[in-house]
Amino acid sequence: MKILVGVKRVVDANVKVRVKSDNTGVDLANAKMAINPFCEIAVEEAIRIKEAGAAEEIIAVSIGPSVCQEQIRTALALGSDRGILVETDEHVDPLAIAKIFKSIIEKEQVDLVILGKLSIDTDNNQVGQMLAALCNYPQGTFACNAELKDGKIEVSREIDGGEQTVLLNLPAIVTTDLRLNEPRYASLPNIMKAKKKPIDTFTPADLGVDVSTNLQTLSVEPPPERTAGIKVESVEALVDKLRNEAKVI
């Protein structure tokens, strides 16, 4: 079985994001970049499936500028076998990303696709569902558990009322939630080995995908500063402030 995992380059989750002074976007100058946390979980799940003997190859795919090779190398150090970079300096919207993945799936004859449910920068939660629709594959989104059974994959999904379990025929699309696993750290020997693993580079045009978009960002602004809370001495004082100051009751 061949597994494809998506690897997106984002600002490190522990870094406080700054907005550019002209409000045109997020300031990435000197910002620490990393693999999207949900993509890390996807990579870890693919590695566990391979370690269990159920997969032969893991392909890590990233879409973006050439610096995205850093995140692919990280995925290779964690245990992926090879990487594919679809290089573009354009902003690529979710539908174009799904079309690029579809082209790679067809080219590589992939059996299972594992993606993060969303990226922490755009927060769209769309690519996995769009990809499943384009490929006409079954999908298990928001996965908190996944297990291969007799050529199928059983996925437990996090839903509003608890969990839902679905049994999917392969090939299939799975998107990861936070409780699926705990990603490992790359060891130094594996980091060194990753430098020799192959990364193929394509452009969207090579894959027959037009990444031009009709979406335009008009302005990016930080959230308003929140005032500090206060402590009250009694329930009566709380009710008074809610009624007369906050005016919510």
Measured CA to CA, the distance from residue 73 to residue 156 in angstroms comes to: 30
Using DSSP's 3-state secondary structure scheme, residue 139 falls into: strand
User: Average per-residue pLDDT in the chain?
Assistant: 93
The pLDDT of residue 249 is 84
In the predicted structure, residue 36 carries a pLDDT above the cut 90: yes
In the predicted structure, residue 6 carries a pLDDT above the cut 90: yes
The pLDDT of residue 216 is 84
Measured CA to CA, the distance from residue 202 to residue 178 in angstroms comes to: 31
Measured CA to CA, the distance from residue 214 to residue 151 in angstroms comes to: 40
DSSP state of 205: G
The pLDDT of residue 28 is 85
Mean pLDDT throughout 218-238? Answer: 88
Q: What's the pTM?
A: 0.87
* Range of lowest pLDDT (55-59, 134-138, 238-242): 238-242
The pLDDT confidence band at residue 161, using thresholds 50, 70 and 90, is confident
Over residues 66-78, the pLDDT tens digits come to 999 999 999 999 9
Measured CA to CA, the distance from residue 178 to residue 120 in angstroms comes to: 12
The bridge status of strand 9-11 relative to strand 33-35 is: antiparallel
Domains recognised in the chain with CATH numbers: 2-244 (3.40.50.620)
Identity of residue 217: T
